[in-house]
Amino acid sequence: MAQAVHGRIRDTLLAGGRAFALMFASIVGSVVLFVLATVSIAFVLIGVGLVTTPWTLDLVRAHANRRRLLAATWSDVRIPLGYRPFPKDLRTGFTGQVERTTLMLKDPATWRDLRWLLVDMTAGCAVLVLAFGLVVYPVEGLVLAAGLWRVFEDSTYWYGFVPVDSQLTGLIAAALGLVLFCVSLFATRPLLRLHFVLARSVLAPTQEQELARRVDRLTETRHEAVDTAASELRRIERDLHDGAQARLVAMGMHLGTVEALMEKDPAQAKKLLATARESSAEALTELRDLVRGIHPPVLAERGLGDAVKALALRLPLASEVDVDLAGRAEAPVESAAYFAVSETLTNVVKHAGADRVWVDLHHADGMLRISVTDNGGGGATVGGGSGLSGIERRLGTFDGVLAVSSPAGGPTMVTMELPCALS
């Protein structure tokens, strides 16, 4: 019982601290970005906005995406992106700026973002103030009862509905504070979740918009999946031709030479047999590696959780894997998730400069959610042909999404979601 109460108090204080941090993001970030965005869009008419609008709206989208990430990690509230992708052949220079500005202003998600900034700085912030106030305001009641009431002996100070001007009224204020704190134990976390639900109601596309976006996205990812499959087949063919096939051909030539030397030079034939045996072992190793790259045996035999743990064990840095899966997803989904995690961990090793990585896998509400967090230098972005872009394309084939939080100086958190059912 005591442990449960302690856990609830800890969660309430954590939610209050998060609400306090989000208050500054709502008041400062949303207000500043709304002013910059509206002024920049207005200046499009005189040409200046053609340069500033894409940059400003990128900041707005980054602000909104950060809130989406916090909604998913703090309150398990999923807010769809809904942004229209830019064409791959988007031009550069001033012409590209004009085209980019036009595409962003035609995107309904841009106007949803601007409406959200208004809601976030008003109703969203009010909910956060209430969540934080329920945690902090009771402290004032205790301080008043401890002696601060003496400051108000010559005047009346109102604590809630209690006029404080004596020790008795100070104790009543403390009792009210305790009642408010008990209320906060049950209300602060729901209020924080309400803030994110309010954001979702504004940021999330309508059902028709979401359906149209998914159709466009699935059409695009279908073509990308075909291209990826063709590229993978070419890679397998190249690896077989340059690796195992070449060794098997060499082994055949060695065996032919052994056959010719068996009677004339047995010693030399014996050496060639040893060489052929080494070539066969190397060819077998390369074939096993190739098969493991196509579909790892541990994934097929033991499932995604154990396969990711096996991946983490081979990393040259400290790792921690937390798996909470009540069953197994379909094989294609498991394969996509496995290789997405594998590519993410490879990026961490190559580019993050981290010495520790955390991987979390769990399934809830029909979603397989995976997060990979490292303590590196940050600065990771999606796009521009980066490894994260390949992961996003891989997940998109299954209607999955990728979110990246990587401020300068770190840490970096890559969150992946795949709709699936476990069996």
Under the banding of pLDDT at 50, 70 and 90, the label for residue 119 is very high
Pairwise CA distance, residues 349 & 353, whole Å: 7
User: Is a pLDDT exceeding 80 seen at residue 127?
Assistant: yes
- What is the per-residue pLDDT across 393-409, written as a single tens digit (0 to 9) for each? 778 777 788 888 888 78
Q: Which residue has the higher pLDDT, 406 or 132?
A: 132
Q: Collapsing DSSP states into helix, strand and coil, what is residue 414?
A: strand
Least confident range from 73-87, 116-130, 150-164, 169-183: namely 150-164
Pairing state between β 157-159 and 162-164: antiparallel
Q: Is it the case that residue 300 has pLDDT exceeding 90?
A: no
Residue 294 has pLDDT above 60, yes or no: no
Of 80-84, 270-274, 359-363, minimum mean pLDDT range: 270-274
Checking if the pLDDT of 187 tops 80, the result is: yes
In this prediction the pTM is 0.57
The secondary structure of 150-184 as a DSSP string is GGGTTS-EEETTEEE-SHHHHHHHHHHHHHHHHHH
The whole-number pLDDT of residue 278 equals 72
- According to DSSP, the residues that pair with 415 across neighbouring strands are 371, 403
Interatomic CA distance for residues 329 and 419, integer angstroms: 10
Most confident region among 13-22, 167-176, 293-302 by mean pLDDT: 13-22
Average pLDDT value for residue range 267-285: 70
Peptide bond into 296 cis (omega under 30): no
Distance of CA 304 to the CA centre of its chain: 18
User: Is a pLDDT exceeding 80 seen at residue 218?
Assistant: no
Indicate if the pLDDT at residue 286 is higher than 90.
Answer: no
315/213 Cα distance (integer angstroms): 38
CA 283 to chain centre: 39
The pLDDT value recorded for residue 303 is 85
Task: Give me the DSSP letters along 292-310.
Answer: HHHS-HHHHHH-HHHHHHH
- At 126 the pLDDT is 93
Mean pLDDT of 291-319: 79
Instruction: Say if residue 223's pLDDT is above 60.
Output: no
pLDDT of amino acid 157: 77
Rounded mean pLDDT, 115-124: 94
Helix (H, G, I), strand (E, B) or coil at 145: helix
CB 82 within 8 A of CB 205: yes
Say if residue 371's pLDDT is above 80.
yes
How does the average pLDDT of the chain come out, rounded?
Answer: 80
Please tell me the distance from the alpha carbon of residue 161 to that of residue 122, in angstroms, as a whole number.
25
| 133-165 pLDDT per residue, tens | 888 888 888 877 777 767 666 677 777 787 777
38 confidence band (pLDDT: 50, 70, 90): very high
